[in-house]
Amino acid sequence: MGNHIPIIWTKYGIVPAEAYTGLGEDAPFHDHDAMFDEMKSYLNHIKENCFWQEETVINTIKSILNYHLGEPPVTVDVNGKNMTPIEYFKKVVKINFDDYIDVLSLFEKPYNEFVVYPVPDNWWKSSDYYNVPLDTFMMIIKKAVRDGYSLAIGGDVSEPGYYSYSEVAMVPTFDIPSDYIDENARQLRFSNKATTDDHGIHIVGYMYKNDQDWYLIKDSGSGSRNGPNKGYYFYHEDYIKLKMMDFLVHKDALKGIIEF
């Protein structure tokens, strides 16, 4: 989900990628399976034994992260100047997150107001999601990408129409025909958990073909390396309409559609 980025960056800052790769020694790419398994095993042990000592648990999780990813730098060098991650965020990155909004389309929530997105990843119960009708949701995406904006978008990537080797995501007709994709179909799949909040990806472009949009997706997941264009997919507009639940975008992209 997109709105955890403003919270984390504002609180902890950020550093250039080359200053902290998170790769182990001689590792050609990220593989976090062992790290996740170790953390999950430890936390299950804590839960099973009712042994919750917050400082101890946090320090242990930090040590696991540091072992697998390397310890994050306290400062970074930027053109000869030493900066903390917070200073780098404020002085170099200079993103004003007040200019961004997370847009949600969920039938079970009231439209045209800020709501809580009821998924496990929203563990802090953020109510900063502006809920809109599905037609408005899709209208914003179509307009934003044509106006040169990118969007951080999140939803379900565990579907039969998702095929990494061909770099495509689409809705097969045995699931639901295109003409029947609406707010009810979307809500049904969210309510019965066929749609879940699996993954966050990045819309960086589009292709208009046969009167339909295909969105160019930048993805950090390992499956995105299975095709010839490493790190990219094309998502059909129906897939986004049915299976993608929210997106983070600059507020200027909403002009003419929603005014704040």
Separation CA 21–CA 87 (nearest Å):
19
Instruction: Name the residue among 101, 114, 106 with its Cα closest to residue 245.
Output: 106
Domain ranges of the chain: 4-93, 97-254
Residue pair 73/82 in contact (Cβ under 8 Å)? The answer is: no
C-alpha to C-alpha distances, 101 to 38, 218, 248, nearest whole angstrom: 35, 20, 6
Residue pair 240/170 in contact (Cβ under 8 Å)? The answer is: no
For 141-180, what is each residue's pLDDT tens digit? 999 999 999 999 999 999 999 999 999 999 999 999 999 9
**33-48 helix and 54-69 helix, angle to the nearest 10 degrees:** 170
pTM value is 0.89
Backbone angles phi, psi at 202, to 5 degrees: -135, 115
Pairing of strands 168-169, 162-163: antiparallel
Residue pair 131/112 in contact (Cβ under 8 Å)? The answer is: yes
For 169-194, what is each residue's pLDDT tens digit? 999 999 999 999 999 999 999 999 99
Mean of the per-residue pLDDT values of the chain: 94
CATH of domain 97-254: 3.90.70.10
3-state secondary structure of 169: strand
DSSP state of 92: I
pLDDT at 82: 96
